[in-house]
Amino acid sequence: MSQQNQSSAHILLIAAPSSGSGKTTITAGLAWLYRRQGKRVKVFKCGPDFLDPLLLGFASGSPVDNLDLWLVGEDLCRQMLAEAARDFDVVLIESVMGLFDGEPSTADLAVKFGLPVLAVIDAGAMAQTFGALAFGLANYRADLPFYGVLANKVAGERHAQMLKESAKSEHWMGWVGKVEPLPERHLGLALPEEIPDLAAKLDAIADALANQPIAQLANPIEMAAPVATEIKPLLAGKRIAIARDAAFCFIYPANLRCLEMLGAELKFFSPIAHEALPECDAIYLPGGYPELHADTLVAHPTIRADLTAHLADKKPIWAECGGMLALCESLTLLDGSVKAMWGLLPAQATMQQRLAALGSQSFNLTADAAGEIRGHTFHYSTLSTEITPVGYGSPCRLGSNGEALYEHGYIRASYIHAWLMSNPAASAALFGVAV
């Protein structure tokens, strides 16, 4: 591809040895700190996560996009990074899992685009071993653009000095004491609107970082992007109604941009607020937390009739994960109570304590060979139905099961959360357009 003009910004990838090290807290605190300094901040999240981006978006003041070499693809990752470097002063990227975990890993992303890596290490239960861990992260791959190390959950000044001395030649970027953790639930962090004192929590984290070396950014990095691939307006003139509220909050910002670039008019509505279904040609029911709002969703006075009329007019519905659960006949909650859901899909869903599935998958739900769409699955529920799947997702990694793909009349549904930008033409077909 030909190259656009280069753009530059202060760029930092925040990683860790493992999940639970505090990288989301640190990334959010840094975004808040740099915003307080008057900088324009853009945050990305590695991998297919939905929840961390919601909190990071609150902290940065800008929607958070996902970066992943498999799900998103190298060209689009490069394009988004270059656009962010053009439009923002600071670009922060939060890792997924540990720095070297997964195929491709966060380290692969860092090497591919020359992204400097800050390693956040939970030092709460260690002393000089901190230096060995820092050295290993910095030197495990010779081509990794390592920037420095930040100690988290430090007991105090004396502990911090011990850690700093152990790090030796690894770039010491400071330390943070034990701050109040951000609240979590199954699937991840609580939603920003569910944390009433979130701004105060972010202020406390930013204050802890303000006097550390990490508060001073390194030199800007130049990024060059390929020319964006043209997307044909296959959905021109089509109105797509999208459920969006606390029950249906797992929506990639890139999915909305993809639908708009395809020419669709997006019309949002809140089933929790009992808003009526907008006039539309297709419906998108994304994932989220229908299990936490089952009574409110069931009490919607018109949604069942609205959806029934929509389907009677031979108009499509695409439902992902939680959106699929809302369409089921029933949903059994963890306490054993059974909630009658909207009843458009002859299936029964059951919540469970343990994770049912996790991983990246691709799928093809169109009969016209429009090609595969890439996506991701992550759920704590199971589905029982007599509907015969029309196909299954193809797991990105060996050892996991492909998610079932269902068609019931004009409903298409799966546990897979689609990354629509991976194949805009096939995505248009999901919403009823032949390609």
pLDDT, tens only, 369-412: 578 999 999 999 999 999 999 999 988 766 568 999 999 999 99
Structure confidence at residue 179 as a pLDDT band (50, 70, 90): confident
Statement to judge: residues 155 and 25 lie in one domain: yes
Mean pLDDT computed over 124-144: 96
CATH code (residue 296): 3.40.50.880
CATH code (residue 208): 3.40.50.300
Question: Is the sign of the CA dihedral 409, 415, 419, 423 positive or negative?
Answer: negative
Statement to judge: residues 209 and 299 lie in one domain: no
Residue 124: domain span: 7-223
Domain boundary among 171, 198, 223: 223
Tokens of 291: 């299990």
Of 53-57, 141-145, 195-199, 282-286, where does mean pLDDT reach its minimum?
195-199
β-pairing, 338-340 vs 345-351, is: unpaired
Which percentage of the chain shows pLDDT scores above 90? 80
- What is the rounded radius of gyration, in angstroms, for the C-alpha atoms of the chain? 22
Tokens of 382: 């199971």
> In the chain, what is the straight-line distance between the N-terminal and C-terminal CA atoms, in Å?
25
Question: Is the sign of the CA dihedral 120, 122, 127, 129 positive or negative?
Answer: negative
The edge-to-edge listing of strands for the beta sheet with 328-332 is 338-340, 328-332, 345-351, 381-385
Statement to judge: residues 85 and 199 lie in one domain: yes
Q: Check pLDDT > 60 for residue 298.
A: yes
Residues 6+ apart with CB under 8 A from 102: 47, 96
Structure confidence at residue 185 as a pLDDT band (50, 70, 90): low
Cβ atoms of 278 and 241 closer than 8 Å? yes
The one catalytic residue among 280, 321, 328, 396:
321
**Alpha carbon distances (Å) from 151 to 113, 159, 190, 213:** 25, 10, 25, 12
- The two most distant CA atoms of the chain are separated, in Å, by 70
For 10-42, how does the pLDDT look when each residue is reduced to its tens digit (9 = 90+)?
999 999 999 989 999 999 999 999 999 999 999
For 64-122, how does the pLDDT look when each residue is reduced to its tens digit (9 = 90+)?
999 999 999 999 999 999 999 999 999 999 999 999 998 899 999 999 999 999 999 99
CA distance 182 to 374: 31
Q: Is 328 in the active site? A: no
Residues 6+ apart with CB under 8 A from 430: 316, 318, 365, 366, 373, 412, 418, 420
Statement to judge: residues 79 and 193 lie in one domain: yes
